[in-house]
Amino acid sequence: MKCAEIMTINPKMCVPDDDIAVAAGLMWDYDCGVIPVVKNLESKELVGIITDRDIAMHVVKHAYTHPCEVKVNDCMSTKVISCQSEDPIESVISDMGTYQVHRIPIVDQNGSCVGIISVTDLLAHAEGMEEQIFSTMKQISSSPAKASEEVAVEEEKAEKESTGE
């Protein structure tokens, strides 16, 4: 199964210069916990991602600042794990577990955001992948230190494979 078969197409997006009230409004209106951040709404080039947690934590930490004065760029994540629509769904499952994320943006060959896959999407299409998804859910909910260790091991394996060791 390919990512394109289960992704939510054309998710709502925002740009780095939007204030976080715009992102929070989209999350509220479309009942989602994440908004891809794109360079501009025409190219949809993915530059980050903002979650409801990012907004809540930033607002609480900086309680003296009104949400309309905070830009998405101030609290979005720029190190975004993404997959392409033609990637096998197993890539998304693996990345969610490895990087402890609940959602993966889907980009085209130009880096434009064309969709998003959430754990909910995986569960809706779980037939035959139950064990992989359960394992991924355990990884997502494990401690960050353990996840960092697992990422380091995966990166070491990849490096060995690329150097032929």
Query: What does the pLDDT look like over 23-74, one tens digit per residue?
Result: 999 999 999 999 999 999 999 999 999 999 999 998 888 776 777 789 999 9
Q: Is the model's pLDDT at 89 over the cut of 60?
A: yes
CATH of 3-154, one of 3.40.1130.10, 3.10.129.10, 3.10.580.10, 3.20.19.10: 3.10.580.10
Nearest to 120 by CA among 5, 23, 7: 7
Report the pLDDT value the prediction gives residue 59, as an integer from 0 to 100: 85
Give 130: exposed, middle or buried? Use CB within 10 Å, 0-12, 13-18, 19+.
exposed
Query: Could you report the per-residue pLDDT of 61-76, keeping only the tens digit for each?
Result: 877 677 778 999 999 9
What is the structure's pLDDT at 67? Answer: 74
Burial of 62 per CB tally in 10 Å (0-12, 13-18, 19+): middle
